[in-house]
Structure 1
């Protein structure tokens, strides 16, 4: 893909600037209710109703997630949505025992992974400057960039799922090595974390755990 140049580049930049001004003119901030839904009063869930996720909602979530920022627009995250009984049984092999029921009861469990060859797609994703040389042969930089940005995209995924009305329950109590062997053998993908999504059974909730106050962990210099 060739990067736009000249008059076409000027037109696209002007449109981007105009679109952003229009967005800010239309929405200056989210409502308190919206912030409560996605973060402030949202909870991690461990039990699920049998209400299925509507058709097309996974695609809707992805369309939100893919617009979140990543460094150099690398977009290294890959999302594997495990819905079938067979897929869940394969995934269960990797889980700590206390997490199996949480995963099996969820309508969908997302494996958030990163593609270690993400940088091969830079001519498409970052067409105005070829930065593949930064990654070619530099495994440590690839690993760092892939992990950081796929984790960011996983967080966007959780917020997007809540924004469209779903509940989420992220999990790190599993073996990445087993997931990688079971689902990604022979590929350039590596698992990052898991996230159950669906409509929660809130009767499994306990009280919200403490949070730090601003002055405990923040400083302004």
Structure 2
């Protein structure tokens, strides 16, 4: 039976983890990106859909291209991060269900229902994006997840050959610069937003 994580692990994943607006001049390796994927892919999604698709922008050219679709406040964050991940979702994720979820004919649940697939892909890719952030923290990196970009323009640019891929959010990744974090915003206690019935 699993044991609770120790305080150091909980601090690294949650309590002391922060959103970084800048990163140290220290590279993130391809091996670390593989480590992130190998952790995040283990998180649960409905019927093992795994609809997230990730483009890891690691070169100055790729980051500049991505920055061109971002709001002014996010452009430099993207340009100067060691890695910037485009977390996207595949609307046709169901095509992979015969091998990802072989227990039953799950593909048939989604055939002919693109709107339903969009809802499910958004929900489950968002879950995977959260797993990505926790996985990056687990391997010793920091993250700066962001909206603030033109989804349609980004999709036309980066996913022209995959028209069923749609961007969800962007996340910068690297060794976080502690000087770039804001004072922590309020985190309410349990009774503020929770009900036990």
Which TM-score band applies after superposition, normalised by the shorter structure?
A: over 0.9
Gaps of 5+ in 1: 1-23
Deviation at 1:89, TM superposition (A): 1.4
Deviation at 1:165, TM superposition (A): 0.2
1:192 counterpart = 2:165: no
Alignment of 1:16-165 (within 5 A): 24=1, 27-165=2-140
Q: Please list the CA deviations of residues 21-40 of structure 1 after superposition, one character each: whole Å capped at 9, or x if unmatched.
A: xxx2xx41111111111111
Q: Secondary structure at the match of 2:156?
A: helix
TM-score by length of 2: 0.97
Q: Secondary structure at the match of 2:44?
A: coil
Runs of 4+ in 1 over 3 A off after TM superposition: none
Gaps of 5+ in 2: none
**Structure 2 CA distance, aligned partners of 1:186 and 1:79?**
14
Deviation at 1:88, TM superposition (A): 1.0
TM-score by length of 1: 0.86
**Structure 2 CA distance, aligned partners of 1:204 and 1:29?**
31
Deviation at 1:206, TM superposition (A): 2.2
**Structure 2 CA distance, aligned partners of 1:85 and 1:203?**
23
Larger radius of gyration: 1
1:209 counterpart = 2:196: no
**Structure 2 CA distance, aligned partners of 1:55 and 1:189?**
23
Q: Secondary structure at the match of 1:174?
A: coil
**Structure 2 CA distance, aligned partners of 1:204 and 1:127?**
46
**1:184–1:216 Cα change, 3 Å:** same
**Structure 1 CA distance, aligned partners of 2:92 and 2:114?**
10
**Structure 2 CA distance, aligned partners of 1:219 and 1:94?**
40
